[in-house]
Amino acid sequence: MEQSKREHRQIRQNAGKSIIGLAGLLEDFGSTPIAQPKRFKSQGEPMNVEELSARVRWDLSCLSYPAVEWTVPRFREGKRCLDVLIVGGGQGGLATALGLRLERVNNFRIVDRNPTGHEGPWRRFARMVTLRTPKEVTGIDLGIPSLTPRAWYEARFGSSAWEQISRIEREVWQDYLDWYRDVLEIPVENDTEVLAIVPHDELLAVDLRGPKGVERVHTRCVVLATGIEGNGEWLLPPFVDSISQARYARSADVIDFRRLAGKRVGILGGGASAFDNAGAALEAGAAKVDLCIRRADVPRVNPYIWMNFAGVLGHLVELSDLQRWRYMRHVLEELPVPPPQDAFERCRRFANFAIHTGCPWQAAREEGDAVAIETARGPFVFDFVIFAAGIATDLTIRPELAAFARQIALWGDRFTPPAGEESELLARHPYLGPAFEFTEREPGNAAFLSRIYNFTFGATPSHGLTGAAVTGMRYGVPRLIGGVVRRLFVEDAEHYYRDLVAYDVPELSIREATTVKAKMSTHETPPVAV
């Protein structure tokens, strides 16, 4: 019993503290409360960014119940184990960190292999002018109005500027994410990559390499928030080995477009990134840009727009396997996503831009300083080529998954579609549980996989657009957090029961030792028997 009492005190050592353990962000109960900041002065006069940041702190202080940090500590090699390791410091990782803190799970780390401000694609390889999504999109704010993109945008640029745009500029979106990270004081560890994840008893051992070298950490759960390429890599055609690396790039590579001035550029692909890279090359002064598309025509209908409603975003995961297969086969294969209108117009205004449909590339070779490409529509000669043909889903090539990738269940392992509805593309994706967790290919052989949550674009067949896509994070993040928190509690249920039985903290204080007998006065009405 005494041990249970000590355990109870250890769990609740932070009881009474307010919302999410953000250093300096909120104050302890009993200390001076956070002053309520200025409200909007009047319609059309929003706060500035400093005032908005104060409002965020105020709003979070209003959400401080329950305030107890509650997870049960575990130790390995003299160090406390993490409850959660978040891999990826972009929008998905940041929202996960906030979600955990709102549930009082503060014992986590969040790492990203890229430098500060370059988490995610926005300052690395995204080359669109504006986001694809409408400006009104919400999600990573987790329902807190002062954290929304609109609140920040109006605070920085003014409400009239907000009214004049339909989509948020790419660079401005990253500025918003930088502010989000700073105002919430989320401790992203940059320049830190995951080398390997291996099971270790009831924990996961994760090898990290960062500025201080290699370290091993132990954690109860891992959340992979590694974005669009989190379950594979960018596609390259088989013939790429016949081309010097100096003469080609993938659309997600760092490209110095200034070097393409006066050059003939060939691009393979028909989606948004293909047109984005074509636009960047044209604006940099390329002599000619030829964009080659395998399909017979440029796609025109965007199925993702149809998917933007609460039913499919919030509940596609609850459909049967056959229903999900049919939905996502139509979205990912039968109705490919077209380039946005603005990306298309960005290229078409250049006379030295051409689109070639029904033009798959079949072979390549170098001819002097140029690259000769054989296509179904004849030969082309380019000075530089860019491959923008999308992502190849392959868990075995991800270093963090390599040790156990073949133990992870894929859709092809769990579901056999009706004749004529096969899809090799869908079959390669992981078959996830209800909270984005990996599942076992052979039940009973790799139970540790349920501790790894695949919050990436690879979750799309299982969960729809709720992983790497900001449009679905309003629904995906709570589902993810609910699963992680449920695991942290349920697997320690016996501990919490002992803690409950040992709980003996009085709520009522009786200060007088004497007992006073109440006497009925002569004017009191006696009780009535019923």
* pLDDT per residue as tens digits for the range 412-463: 999 999 999 999 999 999 999 999 999 999 999 999 999 999 999 999 999 9
More confident: 23 or 230: 230
Of the listed ranges 14-23, 148-157, 265-274, the one predicted with least confidence: 14-23
Rounded Cα distance, 315 and 303, in Å: 17
Nearest in space to 59 (alpha carbons), one of 68, 51, 70, 48: 51
Mean predicted lDDT score pLDDT of the chain: 89
Rounding to the nearest 10 degrees, give the CA dihedral for residues 374, 379, 385, 390: -50
Spatial neighbors of 345 by CB under 8 A, at least 6 apart, are none
pLDDT digit string, tens, across residues 309-349: 999 999 999 999 999 999 999 999 888 889 999 999 999 99
pLDDT digit string, tens, across residues 201-214: 999 999 999 999 99
At 466 the pLDDT is 83
Rounding to the nearest 10 degrees, give the CA dihedral for residues 389, 324, 326, 297: -30
Helix 91-102 to helix 170-183 angle (10° resolution) is 30
Rounded Cα distance, 150 and 137, in Å: 9
Place of tokens 């969960």: 463
Assigned token pair, 275 = 């047109």
Q: Please say if the pLDDT value at position 48 is more than 70.
A: yes
pLDDT above 70 covers a percentage of the chain that reads 88
Q: What is the DSSP letter of 432?
A: B
CB neighbours of residue 524 within 10 Å: 8
At 167 the pLDDT is 95
At 342 the pLDDT is 94
At 45 the pLDDT is 59
pLDDT digit string, tens, across residues 49-73: 999 999 999 999 999 888 899 999 9
Reported pTM: 0.89
Averaged pLDDT for residues 128-142: 93
pLDDT digit string, tens, across residues 116-125: 999 999 999 9
Cβ-contact 34, 59 below 8 angstroms: no
Cβ-contact 284, 258 below 8 angstroms: yes
Position 521 confidence tier, pLDDT thresholds 50, 70, 90: very low
At 320 the pLDDT is 98
At 337 the pLDDT is 87
At 13 the pLDDT is 46
Averaged pLDDT for residues 166-185: 97
pLDDT digit string, tens, across residues 208-256: 999 999 999 999 999 999 999 999 999 899 999 999 999 999 999 999 9
Q: Please say if the pLDDT value at position 186 is more than 70.
A: yes
The three-state DSSP-derived secondary structure of 139-181 is: CCCCCCHHHCHHHHHHHHHCHHHHHHCCCCEHHHHHHHHHHHH
In the chain, count H helices and then E strands: 16, 19
At 37 the pLDDT is 58
Element (H, E) at 384: strand 384-387
Domains delineated in the chain: 236-300+338-389 (3.50.50.60)
Q: Please say if the pLDDT value at position 519 is more than 50.
A: no
pLDDT digit string, tens, across residues 261-307: 999 999 999 999 999 999 999 999 999 999 999 999 999 999 989 99
At 16 the pLDDT is 35
Averaged pLDDT for residues 177-182: 98
Assigned token pair, 506 = 């009085």
CB neighbours of residue 435 within 10 Å: 20
More confident: 183 or 3: 183
